[in-house]
Amino acid sequence: MAQEAAKEVSFAVPAGPLGQALVVWGRQAGVQISYLDAATSGKSTSGLTGALPPEQALSRLLSGSGLSYSFSDARSVVIFGRSAEETGADPASGVNLGTIVLGGGALGSHDATFETAGSVAYVSGEEVAQKRGTSVGDFISGLPGVLNGDSRNSGALDVNIRGMQGEGRVAVVIDGASNQQTVYRGYNGARSSSYVDPDFIGEVAVEKGASTGADASGAIGGIVRMRTLSVHDILLPGKKLGFRVRAGVNSNSTSAPAVQTPGGVAGGLFPIGQPANVRDGGNMNRPGFLEPTGGNASIAAAFTSKNVDLVASVARRVNGNYFSGEHGRGQASLVDLGDNGYGSNVIGYEGLSPWKGGEEILNTSNENTSVLLKGNFRIGTDHEIELSYMGYDSSYGEIMPTRLGTHTSAVGGYQSPLDELDLKTYTLRYKWNPDSDLINLKVDTFRTDLDHRPTSLTTVGGVTTPSYVWSRVVRDGITISNESLIAALPGEFRLTYGGAWQREKMGLPDGLENDRAFTDRMEFPPRMGKRTETNAFLNADWQINPEWQVMAGLRYADYKTTDRNYKMVWDGVSYWPNMSFFLRPGDTTNISGHGLSKSIAVSWTPTETLQLYARYSDAYRMPSIFETINGFSTGSVPADLRPENAKSLELGVNKAFAGVLAEDDALRLHFAYYDNDIDDYVTRSDRPVEIFPGVYQGQLGMLNLENARMKGIELAADYARGDFSARLSWNHAITSRYCARPGTVWNQDLCNGGGFVNSYALQHVPPQDQVTLQLGYTLLDDRLNIGTRISYFSKRIVETTVANTSQIQPGKWNPYTLVDVYATYRIDEAKQIDFAIDNLTDRYYMDALNAALMPAPGRTFRVNFTTKF
């Protein structure tokens, strides 16, 4: 066995079924473990506690079981019986059983939360399936300090980490590729969107704070890395060819109605003494709790051999508009506001949104078809090439938030046309890892081609017309890195170095630039241009001895955006609602910038159960293509717009305990304090513009704030005893503050906690407290796992009041508590059923970080059946 397997690890493995004990051992040892159910069925162990080398601990667990083990390397072990009949395979024969990853996967494991000198989180493929919920972003719920922005009004991920969100501050990388696109959201700002089908996710790793990873240029808030399906997610042990079929249904939805179908409550102005023609809600015909109204299905095939792994999968997901919960505060109700003094009686509404409890929430449907093709080719013993294609075709509900009831252009709730999105991702990944300490080369190349066609409705004077904000974004990228072990220094000293390049092209979908039938219906001129960013990095990781580790890094990055400055020119003849426009390019302009990022981290591990660390980074984010191309929602872009400079500090501790409440239990803790201090924070606001000598007025435009700051603390805890497990996560925001330089913002205080007028940051300020408790229990010899997840979200740390309804309206929510329950039953090695009830108490609530006034789903039942053969 490798040298690292001989190092002692603190184990706390409870007595009980042997299979469960092996799972715990694998997690604590950080080892991938493979075995057949038949090998451990009916066997038990007395457990163990203490600091031991992993191999010795494993040997003790298997003592008297009649089972043996074989390490294929320091991180992989196969458990087998004394005969081929008992296991179905003999490792000595060279037959690969396949790997069941219990301790983790290629991106990490849950254990990394308590073993890393930094704040990280992990979601396994099984947890993604368990938490997939109704909206795309539900699978990241429960991670401390991690939220998805505006989850209910799109089919996208827009991840917020500790108050940092948007424009690449939090990168989302899928198999080394990024498809992030910023979408205009009217008076409610902008959304940075990434797209993926949950059925294709093999695992997710989240790194919080400024990342030094090769793929993390500009990720000053953190990075979310995802791996799509591999052969190990599909094949049964011992199989070289196999299939995985998954199908499921959910309740609490209905097919989307015809466009312009009204919903929610709506009042108005009515002559005094005349009847009031109000609307008191829309579709209240909620289906039964167990009535299947939506569903998902996927089939995946895999083949493996000595030199080739192949995966092919197709997934389909269809769900209609969901219904809100029926219990809780904030539900909409009509209210008579009385005489307005001009002969009219005013009928308005009270509540967090115009939607009633138990009502169909329009524009929340989704219909996705996805395809994944992936091939991994091993050439010799040290070369590996991976080619993949992923197609994501989606029609989903979305409404411009400004239409829902708090803005001057609002007309109340109605069904909008579905958005159409076609995303194609191509990746080529190469690895060369020869028998040399100096070479561990990785090259990732990708192209993402995103055609996004959102259609909004605009109503003026009772006349409704469509408006298009369609776009196509093509992103090409390459990242090259190499790792070298330098033997000249004591301990282990590793250098990782390389560079990356990305180019984005933004414009209209093909064939539409000169299509008058299309451009005449565009409400705003499209953003058209390109952006290129290049960076080079050097990271050093020095494990001086088992106790001390020092990490440091440098990254130089520069960018350039070329803006084609297209404008919509009215023909001066036609009038509303049939106005006609000409699309005309202006003078091409360029904007550029650069910065040198620096980082250092120190960790001290005096014992196997205690680790303390400190991390500091001085990192730059280059402005995004959305921030540097003129458009309706950004206004003017100053030529001297500077990159953001984030100075981030994190202090943390990881601690493990054994025998806390009993001799056979274990507790692990992670605690961190973080302070993000961002100079030249890039946002939009009202800027003073001189219209006459000495006369100024506010106009929308991009600008650099003097400073933005977010501080807080984070806690993660993991407890296990026998068949019982518990996880706790808590993020507490201490500070949210944005400050501008004198003379850069119009008619505002220079510092405030929630963002400036019309700033995108208004939608990024998180709740003060976010707490999740997950309890689990295993039964029936580990075949049945039941659990519950209780989540609490407080009010926003700072509430911002805007002056009028023509400004960005920060999303509002009341504090809320959610209860979800779930169960997984393994029929046998090949078949599994997953049950879940989301929002068990049927609460009516608005999600934290909502930008659109759309309540979340009420009580929803989900069931999925998975089989492998």
Range of the domain at 568: 231-868
| Beta carbons of 859 and 837 less than 8 angstroms apart | yes
Closest alpha carbon to 40 in 87, 107, 8: 87
Q: What share of the chain is helix, strand, coil (3-state, %, to 5)?
A: 10, 50, 40
pLDDT band at 73 (very low <50, low <70, confident <90, very high): low
Dist. CA 397–CA 418, nearest whole Å: 5
Strands (E), 571-681: 581-585, 589-607, 610-621, 644-658, 665-679
Question: 523 in a domain, yes or no?
Answer: yes
Asked whether residue 127 is domain-assigned, the answer is: no
* Beta strands in 264-324, from DSSP E residues, in sequence order: 265-266, 268-271, 279-280, 294-304, 308-319, 321-322
443 within a domain of the structure (yes/no) = yes
pTM: 0.87
**Among residues of the chain, what percentage have pLDDT more than 90?**
57
Has residue 113 been placed in a domain?
no
Residue type at 401?
Answer: P
Which residues fall within 8 angstroms of residue 695, CB to CB, at 6 or more apart?
A: none
Inside any domain, residue 75: yes
Residues 400, 257: one domain?
yes
Average pLDDT over residues 542-550: 93
Q: Of 69, 103, 137, at which residue does a domain stop?
A: 103
| Closest to 660 (Cα-Cα) out of 699, 718, 618, 600 | 718
Contact between 21 and 666 under an 8 Å Cβ cutoff? The reply is no
Residue 687 is assigned to a structural domain of this protein: yes
Report helix angle 18-29 to 54-62, nearest 10: 180
Which residues neighbour 679 within 8 Å (Cβ) at sequence distance 6 or greater? Answer: 644, 645, 646, 647, 706, 707
Q: Which is nearest to 121 in space by CA: 162, 91, 151, 157?
A: 162
176-190, 289-303, 530-544, 782-796: least confident range: 176-190
* Chain length of the chain: 869
Is residue 161 in some structural domain?
A: no
pLDDT score recorded for residue 93: 38
Of the candidates 290, 357, 316, which has an alpha carbon nearest to the alpha carbon of residue 836?
A: 290
Note the pLDDT tens digit of each residue in 792-835: 999 999 987 666 656 777 888 999 999 999 999 999 989 999 99
Structurally, how many domains does the chain consist of?
A: 2
In this structure, is residue 165 part of a structural domain? no
Read off the tokens for 341: 């003094």
Work out the average pLDDT over 597-620. 96
- For 51-55, 391-395, 414-418, 785-789, which range has the lowest pLDDT when averaged over its residues? 51-55
Instruction: State which of 103, 130, 158 marks the end of a domain.
Output: 103
Residue that is last in its domain, among 79, 103, 127: 103
DSSP 415-467: PPPPEEEEEEEEEEEEEE--S-TT--EEEEEEEEEEEEE-EEEEEETTEEEEE
Q: Using an 8 Å Cβ cutoff, are 684 and 702 in contact?
A: yes
Separation of alpha carbons 736 and 732, rounded Å = 11
Q: What is the CATH number of the domain that holds 240?
A: 2.40.170.20
Element spanning 73, H or E: strand 67-73
Residue 753 token pair: 């906690």
